[in-house]
């Protein structure tokens, strides 16, 4: 039985996103271009009255507030994956440094750990208890790391080889939570609704 239907949404752009820098838990705000862009978007009818949850980081909270027009419930478990010593650096530079400990996501497995950071498995372990408390439809505004872990669990991907999904902005990824703790994914993301010229 399905106990909750989550609509996962990635936060809007920050200056670090545009520069290709790894943010992790660094609390970078949305940039002005992102705020302007998001101000012309809203949730599809299916999720307008849903519960609204957000990571505690400002970029997610503000995205939720703008697209839903209300305050989200802050969920500490939805904070981005901890990238440890890789935070603030560019992935392309880390890949060139053999001693960085960084590698392509297709080579992670569930136990890849950036130096001083967090594995996908640990992300799942901290998010899973919260998932069990959610009922009905809910919009969840968070981060690409959180979304990858939830979509991996829903699709059976093990961070090994190409992902069977691609996380894009301005789209809701629907994940169903079942009463036995398993997840499923319909693989048909919904676009946010355009309300005017962005």
Q: Are strands 171-178 and 2-10 parallel, antiparallel or unpaired?
A: antiparallel
- pLDDT at position 187 is 83
- Classify residue 103: in a domain, yes or no: yes
Q: What is the pLDDT of residue 197?
A: 58
Residue 198 within a domain: no
CATH assignment of the domain containing 156:
3.40.50.1240
Provide the pLDDT for residue 148.
Answer: 97
Domains in the chain: how many in total?
Answer: 1
Contacts of 75 (CB under 8 A, 6+ apart): 53, 54, 55, 56, 130
Determine, yes or no, domain membership for 197.
no
**Is residue 19 one of the residues assigned to a domain?**
yes
Determine, yes or no, domain membership for 102: yes
What gap in Å lies between CA 131 and CA 124, rounded to an integer? 10
Q: Residue 183 is part of which domain span? A: 2-192
Strand 73-74 and strand 51-54: the pairing is parallel
The pLDDT value given to residue 86: 94
Q: How high is the mean pLDDT in each 10-residue block of the chain (198 residues)? A: 97 97 97 98 95 98 98 98 96 91 93 96 98 96 98 97 96 97 93 82
Instruction: Label residue 84 exposed, middle or buried (CB < 10 Å: 0-12, 13-18, 19+).
Output: middle
Asked if residue 109 is part of any domain, the answer here is: yes
pLDDT at residue 74, as a whole number: 98
Determine the pLDDT at residue 91. Answer: 92
């Amino acid at each position: 039985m399905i106990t909750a239907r989550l609509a996962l949404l990635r936060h809007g752009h920050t200056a670090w996103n545009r520069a290709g820098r790894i943010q992790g838990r660094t609390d970078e705000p949305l940039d002005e271009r992102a705020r302007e862009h998001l101000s012309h978007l809203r949730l599809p009818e299916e999720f307008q009255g849903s519960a609204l949850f957000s990571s505690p980081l400002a970029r997610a909270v503000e995205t939720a507030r703008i697209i839903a027009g209300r305050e989200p419930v802050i969920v500490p478990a939805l904070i981005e994956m901890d990238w440890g010593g890789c935070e603030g650096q560019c992935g392309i530079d880390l890949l060139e440094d053999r001693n960085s400990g960084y590698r392509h996501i297709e080579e992670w497995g569930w136990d890849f750990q950036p130096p001083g950071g967090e594995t996908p498995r640990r992300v799942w372990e901290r998010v899973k208890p919260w998932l069990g408390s959610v009922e009905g439809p809910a919009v969840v505004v968070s981060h690409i790391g959180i979304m990858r872990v939830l979509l991996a669990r829903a699709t059976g991907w093990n961070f090994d080889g190409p992902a069977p999904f691609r996380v894009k902005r301005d789209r809701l990824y629907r994940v169903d939570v079942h009463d036995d703790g398993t997840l499923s994914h319909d693989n048909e993301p919904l676009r946010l609704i355009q309300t005017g010229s962005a």
